[in-house]
Amino acid sequence: MSEQSHPEIREAVRKLCAGFPGEYWRALDRERTYPTAFVKTLTEAGFLSVLIPEEYGGSGLGLSAATAVLEEIHRSGCNGGACHAQMYTMGTVLKHGSKAQKEAYLPKIASGEIRLQAFGVTEPTAGTDTTRISTFARRVGDKYVVNGQKIWISRAEHSDLMVLLVRTTAREDAARPADGMSVLLVDMRTAVGAGLTIRPIRTMLNHATTELFFDNLEVPAENLVGEEGKGFRYILDGMNAERILIASECIGDGRFFIDRSSAYAKARSVFGRAIGENQGVQFPIARNYVQLSAAALAVDHAAALFDAGQPCGTEANMAKMLASEASWAAADTCIQTHGGFGFAEEYDIERKFRETRLYQVAPISTNLILSHVGTHVLGMPKSF
């Protein structure tokens, strides 16, 4: 998005992030610990509740304002991955929840009293083919009894509630593969140890992601969001916001790398001249800027469509793909520009390099985006 949009928000986020410099993130990275102080500060400043309507205690801003927040966090060298889901996961409750659920949860999510930043969809055997999930919730009286397994569920240990996608009708008994799935709100504070086990997964970045095991976990039936059997559609609804916001994190990462590359190319002198005088060093950085600027326009466009209530599935996907590829290209150049120093922890480049790679895989991998464009937009035959 335009670097000039929402200037007050950007300025305020930059100031906040200045209190969380590279040393803070490096220490967390070494210990694989969660950025509690950073998330608390962002929450208290109201940046994670920008999308919650004012009547529920948020600031009622659009997605475009939220993209400015995440872009600046990432441009500053910080990482919004620890808490970005607090911004958008509540959308499932806001859009499809009952009046009672909205009143019970949204004001507390807005104030930060409740963290809703876990989103449980992916399963080890289903992979991207979500209709093949098998975690099952059986209705017994006024409860659902949940059994199954999820993988890559981020922030589960740092969330009070989780939006969980389950099957309530087996795939083979449903009219269509996408029918028979439902969304439950799981209260993590009571679930852990009472049917829910969380196992952290150590990855190449510090991301607090986990594996979940459900063994007869009881969830009150009143925690069903919307109608039983319609959950897949509710989850798809929320994915556009997620993709656009994550694309804005990529834009922020890309700007971080380009800022660092161009500054170093001007400052570093080898063979008696700035390395940036050599076009072999200068042009890749300029190319990164061109690519990232185009991706930023795509993110802007998708966010504007979202905020206008227009369909934006294709645009959200395309923006995420372009932004994640542009940030990765800028990351690669940044390492190359810094030579050996690109590998030194204290430059923060290798950390950001590892972090930005994720976005070509999660929340949706590039091939699946290309498949969407190839079949839904261009009408070519489906491969699956």
Ligand X SMILES: Cc1cc2nc3c(=O)[nH]c(=O)nc-3n(C[C@H](O)[C@H](O)[C@H](O)COP(=O)(O)OP(=O)(O)OC[C@H]3O[C@@H](n4cnc5c(N)ncnc54)[C@H](O)[C@@H]3O)c2cc1C
Q: Is residue 152 involved in binding ligand X (CB under 6 A)?
A: yes
Binding string, 101-140, against ligand X, x = CB under 6 A?
Answer: ------------------xxxx----xx------------
Selected range binding ligand X among 70-78, 141-149, 202-210, 286-294, rule: CB under 6 A = 202-210
Q: How far is the CB of 144 from ligand X (least distance, A)?
A: 19
Q: Using the minimum distance from each CB to ligand X, give the nearer residue, 164 or 330.
A: 164
How far are the Cα atoms of 282, 285, 289, 368 from residue 266, in angstroms, in the given order? 9, 12, 16, 39
CB of 192 to ligand X, least distance (A): 17
CB of 259 to ligand X, least distance (A): 25
In the complex, the smallest distance separating the C-beta of residue 360 from ligand X, rounded to whole angstroms, is 8
CA distance linking residue 111 with residue 117, whole number of Å:
14
For position 236 contacting ligand X by CB under 6 A, the verdict is no
Q: According to CB under 6 A, which one of 39, 153, 247, 305 is a site residue for ligand X?
A: 153
Long-range contacts formed by 171-178: CB under 8 A, 24+ apart:
171/131, 171/132, 174/229, 177/131, 177/132, 178/131, 178/232, 178/233
The β-bridge relationship of strands 161-167 and 116-120 is parallel
Of 142, 147, 165, 168, the C-alpha closest to 222 is 142
Choice between 134 and 365, CB closer to ligand X: 365
Comparing CB distances to ligand X, the nearer of 271 and 384 is 384
How many residues in the chain? 384
CB-CB neighbours of 9 under 10 Å: 20
Which residue's CB comes closest to ligand X?
127
Q: Hey, which residues between 351 and 380 contact ligand X (CB under 6 A)?
A: 358, 361-365, 367-368, 371
Residue spans of alpha helices (H) in the chain: 7-18, 22-31, 36-44, 63-75, 84-88, 90-96, 99-111, 188-191, 231-267, 279-307, 313-338, 349-357, 366-372
Question: Judged by CB, which is closer to ligand X: 134, or 336?
Answer: 134
Binding site for ligand X (CB under 6 A): 119-122, 127-128, 152-154, 203, 207, 209, 358, 361-365, 367-368, 371, 383-384
